[in-house]
């Protein structure tokens, strides 16, 4: 067993992937088994993300899925990583997460993003006024914070009022980092698919952080991809599922077969390979010993308090085993 010398929390990001001939029902069953597994392993939190009109991703009704997963686990925190707030009225989100917090006290998180989580046509189906929804994002976050506060107001989220559900800002740019700093909220950077602005975003977050009633000092989180196995070769093969999924996104083909392959060079061009690896820069693949060293180096280089790990592995037993190996490094 390899022990980490670093000090940070370890959490899970799950998109409820639908693989091959599976259905969304299969994906939810897989997520249930994974949260139960990672709960027993001592992972800190388990987040699911809002996406729309993407056949291989089933986490569209995020708050509903959170309720299902919280109901099938015991100790692990469960939440959104995240809810794309411009797609929703703040009051509706306050009521949904107020309901979840009432059902599962002190276990619910609400991560907020301003990206659509979908394509332009679906955005129009979700939002009637696309630009104002995005431009109003800071005000909508503040409105949501008010609904969870104990402040008296003519419109209250019931349940939700006074429950102070913890809110986290999510982003892949410096915009949300600066907003999180100004509001004194925790910040999570989406480095698992958009690594470009990681350093600038976390630097600005730490430099500009304003202590608040929510948080006295900065709390930074970053997301990574990981595929661990007993051998390098096995881990590399498991990781090809994620490579294939991103290759499909580049090509606009969400029906691409994501079963692991022996040689990715049979499937992508050199340009596509470069594009995939650019997006998946923070992907850690290998044995415990290899990933341990890489994560120690990462933590020495990047100032974060929590690591949120996405493992898009086709075989669900091997997916759970990857989280096993990672937890054994972390303990």
Compute the Cα dihedral for 293, 43, 48, 229 and give only its sign.
Answer: positive
Please give the distance of CA 280 from its chain centroid, rounded to a whole number: 14
pLDDT at position 216: 97
State the CB neighbour count (10 A cutoff) for residue 232: 13
pLDDT for 119 = 63
pLDDT along the chain (331 residues), means of 10: 60 94 95 98 96 85 97 98 92 98 98 75 63 78 96 93 97 96 98 95 97 97 98 98 95 91 97 97 97 95 95 97 92 61
> Which pLDDT value is given to residue 155?
93
Count of Cβ atoms closer than 10 Å to residue 22 Cβ: 16
Place of tokens 């599976």: 22
Q: What are the tokens at 269?
A: 């061009």
The 3-state secondary structure of 38-79, one letter per residue: HHHHCCCEEEECCCCCCCCECCCCHHHHHHHHHHCCCCCEEE
- CA–CA gap between residue 249 and residue 260 (Å, rounded): 17
Choose among 186, 189, 192: nearest CA to 218. 186
* pLDDT of res. 1: 36
Count other Cβ atoms within 10 Å, centred on residue 122: 16
pTM above 0.75, yes or no: yes
Radius of gyration of the chain (CA): 19
- pLDDT at 3 (0 to 100): 41
- Neighbour count for residue 28 (Cβ, 10 Å): 19
Q: Which pLDDT does position 117 carry in this prediction?
A: 54
Looking at residue 306, its pLDDT comes to 97
Does domain 9-330 bear CATH number 3.20.20.30?
A: yes
Determine contact, residues 112/144, Cβ cutoff 8 Å: yes
């Amino acid at each position: 067993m390899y022990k980490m010398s670093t000090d940070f929390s370890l959490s899970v990001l799950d998109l409820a992937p639908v693989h091959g001939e599976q259905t969304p029902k299969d994906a939810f069953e897989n997520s249930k088994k994974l949260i139960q597994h990672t709960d027993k392993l001592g992972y800190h939190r388990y987040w699911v993300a809002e996406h729309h009109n993407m056949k291989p991703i089933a986490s569209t009704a995020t708050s509903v899925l959170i309720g299902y997963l919280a109901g099938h686990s015991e100790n692990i925190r469960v939440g959104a990583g995240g809810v794309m707030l411009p797609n929703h009225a703040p009051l509706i989100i306050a009521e949904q997460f107020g309901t979840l917090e009432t059902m599962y006290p002190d276990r619910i998180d609400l991560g907020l993003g301003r990206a659509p989580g979908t394509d332009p046509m679906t955005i129009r189906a979700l939002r009637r006024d696309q630009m104002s929804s995005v431009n109003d994002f800071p005000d909508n976050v503040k409105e949501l914070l008010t609904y969870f506060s104990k402040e008296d107001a003519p419109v209250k989220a019931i349940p939700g009022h006074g429950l102070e559900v913890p809110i986290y800002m999510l982003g892949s740019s410096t915009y949300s980092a600066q907003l999180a700093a100004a509001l004194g909220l925790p910040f999570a950077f989406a480095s698992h698919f958009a690594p470009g602005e990681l350093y600038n975003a976390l630097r600005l977050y730490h430099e500009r952080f304003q202590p608040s009633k929510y948080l006295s000092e900065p709390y930074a989180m970053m997301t990574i991809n990981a595929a661990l196995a007993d051998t390098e070769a096995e881990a590399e093969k498991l990781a090809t599922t994620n490579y294939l999924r991103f290759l499909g996104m580049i090509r606009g083909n969400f029906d691409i077969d994501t079963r692991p392959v022996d040689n990715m060079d049979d499937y992508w061009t050199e340009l596509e390979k470069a594009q995939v690896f650019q997006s998946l820069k923070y992907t850690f693949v290998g044995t415990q010993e290899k990933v341990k060293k890489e994560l120690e180096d990462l933590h020495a280089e990047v100032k974060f308090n929590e690591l949120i790990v996405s493992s898009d592995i086709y075989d669900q037993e091997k997916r759970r085993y990857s989280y096993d190996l990672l937890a054994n490094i972390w303990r």
